[in-house]
Amino acid sequence: MNLYKSLSPRKQYLLHYLGWTLAGNVIFAIGVNVIITPMNLYNGGFTGMAQLLRLFFVNVLHVPVLPGLDVVGILYFLLNLPLLIVSYKVVGKEFCITSVVSITLCSVALGIMPIPEEPIFNDYLTACLIGGVVAGIGAGMVLRAGSSQGGQDIIGVIVSVLNPNHSVGKISIMINIGVYIICLFLFNVEIVAYSLIYTTVLAIALDRVHIQNINMEAMIFTKKPGVEEAIMKELKRGVTNWTGTGAYTKETSNVIITIISKYEVNKLLDIVKSVDSDAFVIVTEGAHIYGNFEKRLTK
């Protein structure tokens, strides 16, 4: 712990990013390869697309595969290549590099994680619940690191840059619907139904881990000007301020309130302290928001 604290902030960030991204992708691969794939169930999104392509190449075209290697990992990486090129041009170099690292780790994990010959669970529902929780925790850890696993995550960031008012959720739903419509033609309804249950559980588990989905209310007390301007400039969040008077000291302070995601808390504190190191900040988790509040993907 002392060694970690002695590192520069940049190195601490890189260590945190790589640790969470690696662990998250490995856990995700365990959920998919070890629990779900032996049950012949399918993911949504780009992972599901890669699984369907594997079925086509291996079972239909009989393309030879190296022993111990799941071709899904390679196909998943290839599917993301066009998105990485577009993200480099639209979003920027830093986002593209972090995405390449995460997608590579995810592809390798999916490629080398052993797939049991026999399912661990005999019951489909049990496999869906446990596999969904495990894969969802892994995917959530990757997003919590400020990274993405590619696919819809990258599409979401690209769309949010090109058109902030466009619905990223609808794009994700359309991709999932496309994958499961294909599954409906290839497999029986039971496989599709349980795959949908698994995907739903995964999404719920991911949402619990992914702190960007947790709303926070921050109240800041400061006697120095410029804090609200810094928040609006750096975080692009709206603020409301008024003048308050201390009941004991009778001194006036500028009271600022803003709503952010839990992911943005540390950045908010850094911004406030850079303007006023003596500022008093109260952060409350789980604020219920009704109205215009922008949910954001990490860029």
Res 285: pLDDT: 73
Name the domain boundary from 209, 230, 265: 209
Residue in this structure with the two tokens 């480099």, named with its chain if needed: 88
Minimal CA–CA distance to 150: which of 262, 40, 45, 222? 45
Sheet hosting strand 215-222, strand order edge to edge: 239-245, 252-261, 215-222, 280-285
Q: What residues contact residue 200 under an 8 Å CB cut-off, 6+ apart? A: 132
Average pLDDT of every residue of the chain: 84
Residue 235 belongs to domain with CATH number? 3.30.70.120
Q: How far apart are CA 233 and CA 279, in angstroms?
A: 18
Q: Give tens-digit pLDDT for 187-242.
A: 999 999 999 999 999 988 887 776 555 677 888 999 888 888 988 888 888 888 88
As given in the structure block, the two tokens for residue 288 are: 């219920």
Res 299: pLDDT: 46
DSSP string, 68-129: T--THHHHHHHHHHHHHHHHHHHT-HHHHHHHHHHHHHHHHHHHHSPPPSS-S-S-HHHHHH
In a domain, 294, yes or no: no
Entry pTM: 0.74
Q: Give tens-digit pLDDT for 239-298.
A: 888 888 888 888 888 898 988 876 677 788 888 988 988 888 888 876 565 555 555 554
Assess whether 252 and 146 both reside in one domain. Answer: no
Element (H, E) at 189: helix 189-209
Element (H, E) at 258: strand 252-261
Q: Give the single-character DSSP code of 30.
A: I
Res 294: pLDDT: 57
Res 106: pLDDT: 94
Res 191: pLDDT: 93
Domain count, the chain: 2
Assess whether 198 and 64 both reside in one domain. Answer: yes
In a domain, 295, yes or no: no
Q: How far apart are CA 156 and CA 86, in angstroms?
A: 12
Residue in this structure with the two tokens 């006023």, named with its chain if needed: 276
CB-CB neighbours of 240 under 10 Å: 10
In a domain, 120, yes or no: yes
Percent of the chain with pLDDT strictly greater than 90: 36
Which residues span the domain enclosing 145? 2-209
Q: How far apart are CA 202 and CA 149, in angstroms?
A: 14
CB-CB neighbours of 288 under 10 Å: 6
Residue in this structure with the two tokens 């640790």, named with its chain if needed: 19
Assess whether 188 and 42 both reside in one domain. Answer: yes
Residue in this structure with the two tokens 């190449």, named with its chain if needed: 57
Assess whether 28 and 95 both reside in one domain. Answer: yes
pLDDT at residue 30 tops 70: yes
CB-CB neighbours of 144 under 10 Å: 20
Q: pLDDT band for position 121 (50/70/90)?
A: very high
Listed ranges 92-96, 127-131, 155-159; the one with the highest mean pLDDT: 127-131
DSSP string, 36-60: IGGGT---SHHHHHHHHHHIIIIII
Q: How far apart are CA 225 and CA 178, in angstroms?
A: 52
**Once rounded to an integer, what is the mean pLDDT over residues 122-137?**
94
Assess whether 199 and 226 both reside in one domain. Answer: no
Assess whether 140 and 277 both reside in one domain. Answer: no
Minimal CA–CA distance to 179: which of 51, 83, 58, 39? 51
pLDDT at residue 61 tops 60: yes
